[in-house]
Structure 1
Amino acid sequence: MPSRRILMVAGEASGDLYGARLALALRERAPGIHLYGIGGREMERAGVELLWRCEELAVVGIVEAMTKLPQVVRAYRTLRASLADRPSLAILIDYPGFNLPLAKALKKRGIPVLYYVSPQVWAWRPGR
């Protein structure tokens, strides 16, 4: 039987809200599904097992980004370790600075990736 585990990653408050709504809809359609990953209070309330809280990763500005770098690295490593029990799908919600590199790593492992709420083309530098 295929895995019924779905990795969900949201790194910001807006992504947490979208992730929670999506998690509720998924649970309604597939009650035995296991949802886990990075999110906030709303995703946790919706039944997502949090490996890391997105509030610990959110940054504004370069100085804050530098101070949060150790947490971001630990969160990424935690996610990588969780892939030992392969998810059937990864749903990445916005948060392109973290999720776009993660998407590449997941695809290399053959894990299907759904990018939910993609980044705005006009908002990001070329090559993304």
Structure 2
Amino acid sequence: MNNISIRTIQIMIEDINDHSPTFKQSNIKLFIAENVPIGYEIPLESAIDNDYGLLSIQQYELYPIKNNPFRLIQLTKPILQLNEILDREIKSNYLLKLIAYDGGHPSLSGEQNIEIIVTDVNDNAPIF
């Protein structure tokens, strides 16, 4: 007699939140002319998270929120938008932090420092 039995079983592997979001570069510099219009958009590189589904990247936040002429207009793929007129003679650079959050509980995050350098445009007539 043959005592071999064959059964089909299904094994489901559940992803755990074991990866934090990461950026390819932890620090970037962006150069923006002081005469770009309000509403000007700057696409930023998305972070990478090796988890799947809800455990992957869910949103981005930008800091500081106040005293900052930029805002994120899309939280799932980071795009900066200019909200105020820039004036290099008043402020020549901005230091921002972009944070990516995943959907785990607790949520894991990754950060990217962004330095925005405002480049000069000949916008002031000479004074004699």
**Category of TM-score, reference length = shorter chain:** under 0.3
The normalised TM-score by structure 1 is 0.26
Bigger Cα Rg: 2
Larger helix share, 1 or 2: 1
Q: Which has the bigger relative contact order, CA under 8 A and spacing at least 6?
A: 2
